[in-house]
Amino acid sequence: MNIEELKKSVRNIPDFPIPGIQFKDVTTLFKDAHILRELTDVLYEMYKDKGITKVAGIESRGFIMGPLLAFRLNAGFIPVRKPGKLPAAVYEETYSKEYGEDTIQVHQDAINPGEIILLHDDLLATGGTMAAAVNLIRKFNPQKIYVNFIIELEELKGREVFDSNVQLDSIIKYAV
């Protein structure tokens, strides 16, 4: 299976959740056993030689491929969650969205200094959520941060908000 075939399996839902948004529904990738395996294999090939010690998934669609990939990489998995969900002491990062602000949190004992972290989410739009997650993970002084998305909406230029210390990759790209 090639990337174009993976792309065909993403369901597009026009005007969801609000008019003007072309919502990329990844559940149509995950429900198919063959595609789910293919996706996991593609991700594994991308990161198998990077020395990743932990995969950090962003709530909630980063909680699907994140643990699958962590398992394949023989790495740990840590959740980056919305406020009030994690039970122990947290670090947090607040960031601006189109309307208002949002906060994400991670447990203070989730990462040791010098670890190599792969941050994963389903989709890169403006990059605001993931940029906040990178800032959050930097509090732990990791050796290196990799950032991964299944889907990248290139016209929103989300990758431009990341500096060159972060290696960002996506699997399926939409030009418009």
Q: What residues are annotated to the active site?
A: 61, 98
Binding residues for ligand AMP (CB under 6 A) = 21-24, 61, 121-129, 158
Long-range contacts of 30-38 (CB under 8 A, 24+ apart): 30/64, 34/1, 35/1, 35/6, 35/9, 36/68, 38/1, 38/6
Question: In angstroms, rounded to a whole number, what is the distance separating the alpha carbons of residues 111 and 77?
Answer: 10
Residue among 12 and 141 whose Cβ is closer to ligand AMP: 12
| Closest CB 49 distance from ligand AMP, rounded Å | 27
| Closest CB 174 distance from ligand AMP, rounded Å | 9
| Closest CB 173 distance from ligand AMP, rounded Å | 13
Residue among 91 and 95 whose Cβ is closer to ligand AMP: 95
Cα-to-chain-centroid distance, residue 48: 17
Residue among 53 and 127 whose Cβ is closer to ligand AMP: 127
Q: Beta partners for 92?
A: 105
